[in-house]
Amino acid sequence: MNAQEPILKCPHRIFLYKFLFVAGLFVLSFSTGLPAQTYSQRGMVVSSSKPASEVGVEILRKGGNAIDASIATAFALAVTLPSAGNIGGGGFMVHCNHKGEATSFDFREKAPMRSNARMYLNEEGLLLEGSNHRGLLSIGVPGTVAGLYLAHQKLGKLPWPALVQPAIDLADKGFPMSWTLYMEARHLRSESGPGDFIHHFFEDSSGRLTQPGQLWKQPALANTLTMIRDQGPDGFYKGVVAKKIASFMADHGGLISLEDLGHYTAVERTPVHGTFRDFHIHSMGPPSSGGVALIQMLNMLESVVPDSIPFNSANYVHFMAEMMRRAFADRAKFMGDPDFAEGIPIERLTSKSYARQSLGSFRWDKASLSDSADYIHQPIEGDHTTHLSVVDVSGNAVSLTYTLEDWYGSKIGIEDLGFIFNNEMGDFNPVPGVTRRNGQIGTDPNLIAPGKRMLSSMTPTIVVKNDHPYLVIGSPGGRTIINTVFQAIVSALFFNIPLPQAIGAMKIHHQWLPDEIVFEQHLMSPDTQKALEQKGHRLRPVPNLGSLMGIVVDRQNQVLIGSADASAVDGAAVGY
Binding positions for ligand DON, rule: CB under 6 A: 381-385, 403, 405, 424, 427, 456-458, 476-478, 481
- Residue by residue, what is the 3-state secondary structure of 136-161? HHHCCECCHHHHHHHHHHHHCCCCHH
Whether the CB-CB separation of 488 and 548 falls below 8 Å is answered with yes
Positions annotated as catalytic residues are: 385
Residue 262: CA count within 13 A, CB half-sphere: 8
CA separation for the pair 134, 118 (Å, rounded): 16
Phi, psi at 333, each rounded to 5°: -80, -40
In whole angstroms, the minimum distance from the beta carbon of 269 to ligand DON comes to 16
Q: How far apart are CB 541 and ligand DON at their closest, in Å? A: 19
For residue 360, how many other CB atoms are within 10 A of its CB?
A: 7
| Amino acid letter for position 232 | G
Distance of closest approach, residue 253 Cβ to ligand DON, in angstroms: 23
**Contact yes or no for 347/440 (Cβ under 8 A):** no
Minimum CB distance to ligand DON, residue 110 (Å): 13
Report the distance separating Cα 498 and Cα 501, nearest Å. Answer: 6
Cβ 289 to ligand DON shortest distance, Å: 8
Its sign, for the CA torsion 536, 527, 297, 341, is negative
229 vs 452, beta carbon nearer ligand DON: 452
| 238: exposed, middle or buried (Cβ count in 10 Å: 0-12, 13-18, 19+) | middle
| Beta-carbon count within 10 A of 193 CB | 8
Q: Which of 4, 310, 221 is nearest to 229 (CA)?
A: 221
Q: Which is nearer to ligand DON, 225 or 454 (CB)?
A: 454
Residue 405 beta carbon to ligand DON: minimum distance, rounded to whole angstroms: 4
- Minimum Å gap between C-beta 69 and ligand DON is 22
Nearer to ligand DON, 328 or 494 (CB): 328
Q: Which is nearer to ligand DON, 26 or 340 (CB)?
A: 340
Kindly report the backbone phi and psi dihedral angles of residue 273, in degrees, each rounded to the nearest multiple of 5, phi listed first: -130, 140
CB 560 within 8 A of CB 40: yes
The residue (of 155 and 332) whose beta carbon lies closer to ligand DON is: 332
- Residue 59: Cβ-neighbour burial (10 angstroms; 0-12, 13-18, 19+): buried
- In whole angstroms, the minimum distance from the beta carbon of 142 to ligand DON comes to 13
- Please check whether residue 516 is in contact with residue 495, taking contact to mean a CB–CB distance below 8 angstroms: no
Environment class of residue 98 by beta-carbon count within 10 Å: exposed (0-12), middle (13-18) or buried (19+)? buried
CA atoms within 13 A on the CB side of 351: 7
Q: Identify which of residues 89 and 233 has a Cβ nearer to ligand DON in the complex.
A: 89
Q: Which is nearer to ligand DON, 87 or 163 (CB)?
A: 87
**Of residues 35 and 382, the one with the C-beta less far from ligand DON:** 382
Residue 37 or 457 having the CB closest to ligand DON: 457
Which residues lie closer than 8 Å to 208 by C-beta, 6 or more apart? Answer: none
In angstroms, the CA 289 to CA 78 distance is: 25
Q: How far apart are CA 552 and CA 561, in angstroms?
A: 5
The answer to whether the Cα torsion of 496, 501, 506, 507 is positive or negative is positive
CB of 569 to ligand DON, least distance (A): 14
Distance CA 481, CA 457 (A): 6
**Which residue type is seen at 149?**
Y
Q: With the CA atoms of 416, 67, 562 and 281 taken in that order, what torsion angle do they form, in degrees rounded to the nearest 10?
A: -120
